[in-house]
Amino acid sequence: MEEKSKRRTEYEATRSGTLLSYVAQKGDAFGKRVNLLSQLIHGNHEPSLGGYKERLLADAIRQSIPNRYEVGTGFVAFPTLKNKNDATASHEISRQLDIIIYDGSEYAPIFKDNEFVIVPPRSVRAIIEVKSTASCKSVNDTVKWAIDFAEKWSRCSETYREMAYKPPPPPALISMFWDIYVPPKGNPEITPENLSTRIRDIYAELVKPPIKKTFPILDPIAIYGKMLVRPTTYIEDKDEGMAWYTYRGQFVEKANEEYRELGDRTIGDIIAAVLVRLRTPFDTFFAYVDNEHSMDALEFPGGTRANWLHGGQYEFSLIEDDDFE
């Protein structure tokens, strides 16, 4: 049989694939579209480029979730009480949020003007903070933003309990950086080796254990196409706890006994993180799982684990938890 030509092999490759390769190509398309605009504006107006990136991510999420959920930008208004004997309606407001995924079919927004919304906590399913570049300052600011939101959410949960209501489950808190900042003279401040430690140190400084179920934690922190940091559990020398772990930002595929990077993983992981927080069935068969867990996978300079909390100092929240509404 005549051997296939190289062009024929390439052609057949464009007509076949897996769900994983589809998600990877979908993620890679983001970078191409952003670079296309960058070629024209030459970095002369970063706010416009930043707004375009937010819209791209919001559109990708909107196309990937059930119709009952909406995607907007704005604020969450948290109800508060002066004291147990005073039911006067009051509230505190979140910082401005880049992307809010909320249930618009069951809970009406408090305020809505096109995509700009102010929504009640019961409707919120996920919050995403979008930044252009990851630097020491921008990572610090993002983690502090997440802690501020989590503290307000936790106080709001206590308000619900004081009024004899079950609180809503905490939303997913997600952070997306589009690149790593490189100073004009110098090396990048953020690397796969130090990102998890930096996040751990900020949480350790500002958040005192124990961590309750009503306190949402950043998960994941993504740098497009490069890396993800996620909280995870660990067991080591009879010690168990919670840690931050750095993962590759590319899907890994095994073919012909060899491993290769397949394409961007960060967009797929963010979409999956949103889906598991929605109150709709999530088919785990379509979870975006690759071969990176294999001991034979490509070497990654990250893979660092920064231990944070020991056993008994934290509680993980589950969507179907009886403690929540």
pLDDT digits (tens, 9 = 90+) for 161-175: 888 888 889 999 999
Name the residue among 181, 173, 62, 172 with its Cα closest to residue 131: 181
Name the residue among 147, 145, 172 with its Cα closest to residue 61: 172
Predicted model pTM: 0.86
Cα 279 to Cα 257: distance, rounded to the nearest angstrom: 39
- pLDDT of 3 strictly over 60: no
Of all residues in the chain, the percent with pLDDT exceeding 70 is: 78
- Do 105 and 68 meet the contact criterion of CB atoms below 8 Å apart? yes
Cα 178 to Cα 31: distance, rounded to the nearest angstrom: 9
Angle between helices 46-62 and 266-275 (to 10 degrees): 50
Segments making up each domain of the chain, as ranges: 18-310
Stated length of the chain: 325
Per-residue confidence band for 142, with pLDDT thresholds at 50, 70 and 90 = very high
- Three-state DSSP class for residue 255: strand
Reported in sequence order, the residue ranges of the chain that DSSP labels E, i.e. its strands, are 69-80, 90-93, 97-103, 111-113, 116-119, 124-134, 172-180, 218-223, 227-236, 239-248, 250-255, 258-264, 305-310
pLDDT digits (tens, 9 = 90+) for 46-69: 666 778 888 889 999 999 899 999
pLDDT digits (tens, 9 = 90+) for 221-268: 999 999 999 998 877 777 778 889 998 898 887 777 777 788 899 998
